[in-house]
Structure 1
């Protein structure tokens, strides 16, 4: 289950925590903020004495210098503002970059079961879209708190100094803005979170359709996918529109409420000027400061709305970061070194939710044995070998290596003992050489080539434009199915692990390629404990033992010849495949 969403305050403090390593940037930004706030306060304060000297004292020197002073003041203010914006936003960018790195690292350490339960597009959306919204919010909020907050404080100081009574009149309405601002902010956070969920739906559709584009086109379902995308995009717009509505309401509401304070100041202050109790220059200085102070306050309100959007996205991000991995090292787990290769399943049971997939499986593989797992689909073959790699832990019983429960080993040490060739050829958008050395990053070019030769891949690699340095594209799209599978086998050969798992390793190969790869696999399996999952029974007749799994239990076990003589499930499966082969029309 996902972790409980953290409270808003905790989320904000976690965001602030990511900013701490970049304190010096924030400190420089604070200096720039002081300059901006100080300039705003200085401009409001100097209005009264400058106007008094110019118009009352007829000081032409000050009048002549005034334009130059204004230009210099704004130039200095611009430098301070740039310093503030650059360093605070870069600090925010770096902080959110750290969040994205930590989120991706967290994803990489979560168990396989977590990825089976969640859509890939949703996980991508949290790393990209949600963190992106956090990035925008953190930069704007921190920037607003520093620059606009200090500007507001400086300007408030000026207007209270000029006339504290008028200042109180103008700001008596400010507390009234808190109520609508809070309500609008809560709605913005809720809508932002829902909108990000819809963005996750969009990302899921993109991931599914792009990765399955051949199937979409083969069935001519482009129109259906377009309509599905449009419907999800419309849902996303629905929440985005609400976000725009609430965000747009905040400023007009604030301005309307504060207008009562401004109107009261003009009426009271104007009356004082007309009655001679206050000079026009003093009143004009006060009005200037009051008008200026409302601008940073409005921007602070906007920053508050951005903060709510950020928190809505951050809650989704921290939900993933607070997720507890199902498969972790036990407190007493140790690096027990390299195994000889003996693997035992001792009364192993496993269930997905409430349905048992394996029920009391007992099986022992000696060093160097080849164990073939066969049986109807859904019998538990892939689940059984997934327990060896601890993609899952058994619900009951134990898996042992060399007589030791694999949970006593660290995950890193355990996976060093195992090489896997899956039925799904997983390759990366990288060079052939880097794909082969994926399991041994320090392998030399000569070792990579030797592994490729053993997998009968060297010849086709050398026919490619750049040989081993050829980039094979996303998921190896530039290679045939047989070529991709041979690269995966080369990767397993290079790892040189004592335990080998072949899950339909030859399923994607044509007859000629299968014969070559089968020879390579026979060499690879020497002195290694090998588990082979195969639907084509012709590929596992050489196995030391064949284990027939049906409905999560071991139905039969023995050699190919023994099981044929028993005339049980294996014999029936073999007979059906033999008939299919004989009845298949000749090419």
Structure 2
């Protein structure tokens, strides 16, 4: 018999579209009633016609029942579409919110391509659970009612039906039960291919420059043979179930109609009862016709579980985050902070004091923990242990929205969001004035090329192509316009030429004096312009001093830039 996804799944999805689900159930109830009433009325009309009576009243009722069934089917179709649309939209919205709640650790756990796969294909497939379950419920009720009607007409008909249906149902259930694992692996492999494709697209320029396109295609499509195998397994199961169900349907139908025909010949049944029995037999056999829906539910179950896996993930436990930062100059302290990413120790009890208003460069080899330390400031990631203190307040107690209004970031690969350049620079801070936007653009050395554009700051982003250096300067301008007390630059000048980088660094030093700046630096010139340099090595702060001092006394520090 049909089986449902894990307990609570259908009810949980139904709650996402309560109105559509209610309409579906009402239409299903009407469909059940009309389906069961129609054969009886038709049999009555036939018997009256054979006896010479006029079945006018019965024909009127038949017409009304048919019209009611058409309306129920139409309403059911509309409700099905509404439910699937609302459930899919709700699933995608919840997934998107969950991704942002999980933050950067979540993105490391679930690659972007895999998330897209879950948010599109899996969410859409899981949305079919409610309509299919409603249909299976309707067919199951009609099947039971049809069996009851057959037994009322002649108990022999019910007995023959059960003798054939019970073993057929058990056999088909065993066949469909094995399809879940195939669908689960198929969905996982689709996500793997999508994740690899997204990674390759992000690094397409590097791939082309390296001449490794063929190798990347091979890497992306490496799971394809397994994907094909599981796909063929699914089709094989469906094919096997289809012919077995058809064979069972034919055998049971022939046996029941044979017994009914003998009943008419023996005088136990009338011609009208034979007609009614043949129609009720069709209803009773409906559950075997739902085998394809049962197989589809296995696919729904696998997709729903992939969506539920992300929704069930829990962000890192946090204390009460209702506090706000008091007015302050932007003193920043990292106290014995430890960060592990995928079981790898990135920061190991690191201690660093960033004086208010100072520019502190974070220097170290790749993997030393520079970016992780910078991300801790605004809690883009949280430490596994230790505390981050801003102007005397533990950042873990501060409302993240308020915290991120006080700390702004510029990254090495900024993404511009909004319709125009002005909207991109004020994204998340729509209250920023035009004067502040233009000042930030001047500090970031972006003002000149922006004003050369056709509409200046109001030029549409879709109409403009920016170089890597221009993108970085726009990202810097956005950070300058947003930040209040702390500005974090994560290798945000790596794409600038030497002359422009020097001008931007000088502007950041002169125009942002008094604002605390944390700079992830890969160039000695950037480190030299900072007030202090924090040298990271092996996840710890090896030393903190001006660049000149470290350059003169620490050979290991000099080797970082070599």
Report if TM-score (shorter chain) is over 0.5.
yes
Give the drift of 1:321: 1.0
Between Structure 1 and Structure 2, how many residues are aligned?
560
Give SS of 2:350's match.
strand
Q: Does 1:550 align with 2:542?
A: no
Give the drift of 1:407: 1.9
Give the drift of 1:293: 3.4
| One of 440, 447, 472 as aligned partner of 1:485 | 472
Q: Does 1:114 align with 2:103?
A: no
Residues in 2 aligned to 1:330 and 1:45: alpha-carbon distance in whole angstroms: 67
Per the alignment, do residues 567 and 239 of structure 1 end up closer, same or farther by CA in structure 2, a change over 3 Å counting? closer
Give SS of 2:127's match.
helix
Determine the structure 2 residue equivalent to 1:207.
198
Residues in 1 aligned to 2:540 and 2:338: alpha-carbon distance in whole angstroms: 9
Give SS of 1:253's match.
helix
Contact persistence 2:420–2:461 (CA under 8 A) = yes
Deviations 1:85-106 (A, max 9, x none): 2113312321232122112111
TM-score (norm 2): 0.89
| One of 128, 138, 143 as aligned partner of 1:152 | 143
Residues in 2 aligned to 1:58 and 1:348: alpha-carbon distance in whole angstroms: 93
Once structures 1 and 2 are overlaid, which stretch shifts more, 50-59 or 486-495?
50-59
Give SS of 1:172's match.
helix
Give the drift of 1:195: 0.9
**Match runs of 1:248-259 below 5 Å:** 248-259=239-250
| One of 290, 300, 303 as aligned partner of 1:310 | 300
Residues in 2 aligned to 1:188 and 1:469: alpha-carbon distance in whole angstroms: 55
Contact persistence 2:335–2:351 (CA under 8 A) = yes
Give the drift of 1:509: 0.7
Contact persistence 1:368–1:528 (CA under 8 A) = yes
Per the alignment, do residues 231 and 490 of structure 1 end up closer, same or farther by CA in structure 2, a change over 3 Å counting? same
Give the drift of 1:573: 5.5
TM-score (norm 1): 0.86
Determine the structure 2 residue equivalent to 1:496.
483
Residues in 1 aligned to 2:161 and 2:377: alpha-carbon distance in whole angstroms: 73
Determine the structure 2 residue equivalent to 1:293.
284
Runs of 4+ more than 6 Å apart:
68-72
Residues in 1 aligned to 2:39 and 2:439: alpha-carbon distance in whole angstroms: 78
Contact persistence 2:321–2:400 (CA under 8 A) = no
Q: Does 1:559 align with 2:540?
A: no
Deviations 1:474-520 (A, max 9, x none): xx992101110111111111112211111222111123432442243
Give SS of 1:527's match.
coil
Residues in 1 aligned to 2:231 and 2:237: alpha-carbon distance in whole angstroms: 10
**Match runs of 1:45-56 below 5 Å:** 45-56=40-51
Per the alignment, do residues 380 and 483 of structure 1 end up closer, same or farther by CA in structure 2, a change over 3 Å counting? same
Gaps of 5+ in 2: none
Per the alignment, do residues 439 and 171 of structure 1 end up closer, same or farther by CA in structure 2, a change over 3 Å counting? same
Q: Does 1:187 align with 2:174?
A: no
Give SS of 1:506's match.
coil
Determine the structure 1 residue equivalent to 2:20.
25
Per the alignment, do residues 563 and 40 of structure 1 end up closer, same or farther by CA in structure 2, a change over 3 Å counting? closer
Determine the structure 1 residue equivalent to 2:262.
271
Determine the structure 2 residue equivalent to 1:579.
none
Deviations 1:354-377 (A, max 9, x none): 654334433222210111222333
Gaps of 5+ in 1: 1-7, 577-587
Per the alignment, do residues 77 and 360 of structure 1 end up closer, same or farther by CA in structure 2, a change over 3 Å counting? closer
Q: Does 1:319 align with 2:309?
A: yes
Give SS of 1:173's match.
helix
| One of 133, 147, 160 as aligned partner of 1:141 | 133
CA RMSD of aligned residues (A): 3.1
Give SS of 1:335's match.
coil
